[in-house]
Amino acid sequence: MELPGLFNYWVVVVLMMAGFYVVIEQGNLVKKLIGLGLFQASVFIFYISIGKVADGAPPILGDAAELYSNPLPHVLILTAIVVGVATTAVGLSLIVRIHEQYGSVEEDDIHRADVQADEDEA
Amino acid sequence: MLLALLLAVAFAAVRMRDLFSVVMLFSIYSLLTAALFMDLDAVDVAFTEAAVGAGVSTILMLASLRLVGRSEQARRRNPLLALSVVAVTGAALIYGLSDAPLLGDPNAPAQQHVAPYYIQNAMADTGVPNLVTAVLASYRGFDTFGETLVVFTAGLAVMLLLGSGRARDNQQYGSEDDRNIQRLVVRALIPWILVFALYVQFHGDFGAGGGFQAGVIFASAFVLFDLVHGHRVTAQVIPAHWLPRLGALGALIYGGVGLCSLFVGQPFLDYAALAQDPIAGQHLGILLVELGVGLTVFSVITAIYYAFSTREQLR
């Protein structure tokens, strides 16, 4: 298979920016967390792309292959995926608590409620 | 081809307002990523992504949508500012990548550092043919220990925020007949899932797999069981208050292995100290720490699922 040079990295950048856009622009907290997930997954693809060696075999030693892809990025990303789901769960549970407190997961509503509470106090 | 599909799914997910569809698209995105990882020779990573991204994280997102509602409000703000920030950052990154080594280049700097050492010496040092397992559990054992503790801490944080799940029934959907069919199918599936998880756990030295993947697969069997039988029955199989203890036990096994080698005068987590023969010590050490990882990951994922699924919906 002919490898497309830098194309992989360009796609990674576009995916990363799609996630970034969701995080900074869209107001729904669950959506923001999904945007963060997109961002994270693009970084994973970046690392794994770096580790790829043309015509290399998966890094499990055998008799058939001479050339192996780099196992180090695989290790880093494998653990990062599992840590990622655990931290996402922490984020989701914070969102659930915010929803219980404010009755909404929209950033604008939450901000308005905070401003309202400050004014009531003053 | 896969990359084009990934782009299409990502943009659809960004534009969609119905959060249920967004979560489903995100799950498809994860599965596509897993396929891409296969293509890039990262079999262990593909395995993990398929089990975690397409399985567990989708379930967690759906469980929280149940609690917070599935529709997103449209915003009336002008997206131009955010779009320009994103465009500038993206352009800068593309510019920065313009002199990066091409994909697959065997002479790239990333391929020159420690990787050749691992590939040449892992078999002699550890006796484990799966290089990913060798690096994960042996060469980078410290790092993996830290990550196991992060996973455990995240599980504790979720339990603190949401409570660890009382033994009450979560909502059941569908008619009684439908549920009987589901129960029958699940009953047929679960033993195989558990056996597969154990295979992945203990065969990780030789093929793709290991504690992280096995823990997630083991937990997904319980999630499946919970979905069709309700939480009360699942809590009889494995009560919620066991889970933090099991997670702590996993971390303890991992740390304990490190302390054992410390006590016989070797560096922390030097498995060669565990037996007369260094290779046998490495085998034992890797087996034990993978077991610790599997136990922690399983109990944390199950505990997180319990916490989300038993939370009452607020009116």
CA distance A59 to B44: 9
CA distance B4 to A119: 50
Q: Which pLDDT band, with edges at 50, 70 and 90, does A1 fall under? A: very low
* B181 contact partners, CB below 8 Å, separation of at least 6: none
Cβ contacts from A onto B, under 8 A: 281
State which residue of chain B sits closest to A105, comparing Cα positions. Answer: B68
Whether A26 sits inside 8 A of B37 (CB atoms) is no
CA distance B49 to B228: 25
Residue A59 identity: P
Contacts of A19 in chain B (CB under 8 A): 10
Q: Model ipTM? A: 0.87
Q: pTM of whole model > 0.90?
A: no
**Best residue of A48, A81, A106 to probe chain B, by most B CBs closer than 10 Å:** A81
Provide the residue-wise pLDDT of chain B in tens; the chain has 315 residues: 777 888 888 888 888 888 888 899 999 999 999 999 988 888 889 988 988 888 889 989 988 888 888 777 776 667 788 888 889 999 999 888 888 888 777 788 878 878 788 888 777 777 788 888 888 888 888 888 899 999 999 999 998 888 765 655 555 666 777 778 888 888 888 899 899 888 888 887 777 778 888 999 999 888 888 888 878 888 888 888 888 889 899 889 888 888 888 888 777 877 777 777 878 888 888 888 889 999 999 999 999 988 888 887 654
Report DSSP letters for A35-77, one per residue: HHHHHHHHHHHHHHHHH-BTTPBPSB--SS-S-B--HHHHHHH
User: What is the per-residue pLDDT for B124?
Assistant: 77
User: What is the per-residue pLDDT for B170?
Assistant: 57
Measuring CA to CA, how many Å separate B12 from each of A18, B21, B204?
A: 10, 9, 36
Partner A contacted by B266 (CB < 8 A): no
Contacts of B56 in chain A (CB under 8 A): 85
Partner A contacted by B254 (CB < 8 A): no
Nearest-CB residue to B118 (from A67, A72, A87): A72
Token output for A118:
């400050």
Partner A contacted by B206 (CB < 8 A): yes
Picking from B73, B205, B192, B117, the residue whose alpha carbon sits closest to that of residue A30 is: B73
CA distance B287 to B281: 10
CA distance B286 to B138: 7
Q: Looking at chain B from residue 135 to 174, which residues have their Cβ under 8 Å from any Cβ of chain A?
A: 135-136, 140, 143-144, 147, 150-151, 154-155, 157-158, 161-162
Token output for B98:
């313009």
CA distance B246 to A121: 46
* Contact by Cβ (8 Å): A83, B147: yes
CA distance B257 to B138: 12
Measuring CA to CA, how many Å separate B177 from each of A99, B166, B184, B216, B243?
A: 35, 27, 11, 30, 32
* Contact by Cβ (8 Å): A23, A35: yes
* Contact by Cβ (8 Å): B292, B246: no
pLDDT score of A2 more than 60: no
Residue-range domain boundaries for chain B:
1-71, 127-315
CA distance B255 to B269: 8
Residue B22 identity: V
Q: What is the fold, at CATH topology level, of the domain defined by A7-121?
A: Helix Hairpins (1.10.287)
CA distance B280 to B278: 5
pLDDT score of A4 more than 70: no
Q: How far is CA A11 from the centre of its chain?
A: 15
**Best residue of A6, A10, A88, A96 to probe chain B, by most B CBs closer than 10 Å:** A96
Nearest-CB residue to A51 (from B42, B73, B297): B42
User: What is the per-residue pLDDT for A40?
Assistant: 92
The residue among A57 and B77 whose pLDDT is bigger is: A57
* Contact by Cβ (8 Å): B60, B308: yes
Task: Render pLDDT for A86-106 as a digit per residue (tens, 0 to 9).
Answer: 999 999 999 998 988 888 888
Partner A contacted by B207 (CB < 8 A): yes
User: What is the per-residue pLDDT for B315?
Assistant: 46
Token output for A110:
């939450």
Picking from B240, B5, B161, the residue whose alpha carbon sits closest to that of residue A45 is: B5
CA distance B257 to B295: 15
Closest approach of B81 to chain A, Cα-based (Å)? 9
Contacts of A77 in chain B (CB under 8 A): 42, 45
State which residue of chain B sits closest to A7, comparing Cα positions. Answer: B103
Residue B54 CB: number of other CB atoms within 10 A? Answer: 18
φ, ψ for residue B114, nearest 5 deg = -90, -15
